[in-house]
Amino acid sequence: MPRENYQRRLDDLRRDVVSMGDLVLDRYDAALDAAETGDADLAREVIRGDHEVNDRYLELEDDCTELLALQQPVAGDLRLITASFKIITDLERVADLATNLAGYGTSETGGVHPAVDLREIGTAAGEMVADAVAAYESADPEACRAVAERDETLDERCRIASESVVRELLAAETARRTTDPSPDSGALEVELDDVSRALLTVRDLERVGDHAVNVAARTLYMIENDDELIY
């Protein structure tokens, strides 16, 4: 393959990874809306659309494999291709988490437990992914480090949200037993379902942030051959 064609393939790969990131973030934002509002139609739309992300992932996986197999790249080109391969894997997993979040919005009770500030935490996690993809696009090492530094704050928000959900469950159960020593087991089961869904939501939002850090870490390695953020 002539050098100019090879370079064009590398440029196309970077552009296509960014495009996949935009697609995933669109799905993620829609999933947040579905989980927040309990919009079952929107949730089903997000879930049905997951195949588009999977198809894009497989196409880019093939591109990376072909570039590695046929061009035997070295140094910076090799880091670009291998980092891109790992980044699309993280983006695909963010899309999977988006389908999870959308699914929580299909419950008959609708939405997520009010103790979870879904919009605030979800937006923070999504912005980390967006900024990590932007750092990849612009090859900005400081932006990569900035994304990683925000992960601790996101984790703390998730911890507080999880504790708030459990506290509200305990408070509600204590109040119920105070007024009725033999409470309806069905009511408790509904409450536990709500809490379980809320805790799963928080867990998935935290994982979105983890994948953002992964994207930033792979990008930093691509730019500077620096693995300080990889764990």
229 inside domain: no
Q: Is the CA virtual torsion 220, 61, 19, 105 positive or negative?
A: negative
Q: What is the pLDDT of residues 125-167, one digit of tens each?
A: 999 999 999 999 999 999 999 999 999 999 999 999 899 888 8
Tally the domains of the chain: 1
Q: Note whether residue 116 is domain-resident.
A: yes
49-81 confidence digits (pLDDT tens): 999 999 999 999 999 999 998 878 888 899 999
Q: Is 78 within the bounds of a domain?
A: yes
Residue 129 neighbours by CB under 8 Å, 6+ apart: 21, 24, 25, 28, 91, 94, 208, 211, 212, 215
**Which helix (H) or strand (E) covers residue 205, if one does?**
helix 185-224
Whether residue 93 lies inside any domain: the answer is yes
Is residue 160 included in any domain, yes or no?
A: yes
pLDDT tens-place string over residues 165-207: 888 777 766 666 666 666 555 555 556 777 888 899 999 999 9
- Is 230 inside a domain boundary? no
- Return d(Cα 85, Cα 27) in angstroms, integer: 20
pTM above 0.85, yes or no: yes
Any idea what the CATH number is for the domain that residue 64 is in?
A: 1.20.58.220
Structural domain harbouring 67? 3-224
Across the chain, which distance is largest between two alpha carbons, in Å? 80
Specify the residue for token string 């990874």.
Answer: 17
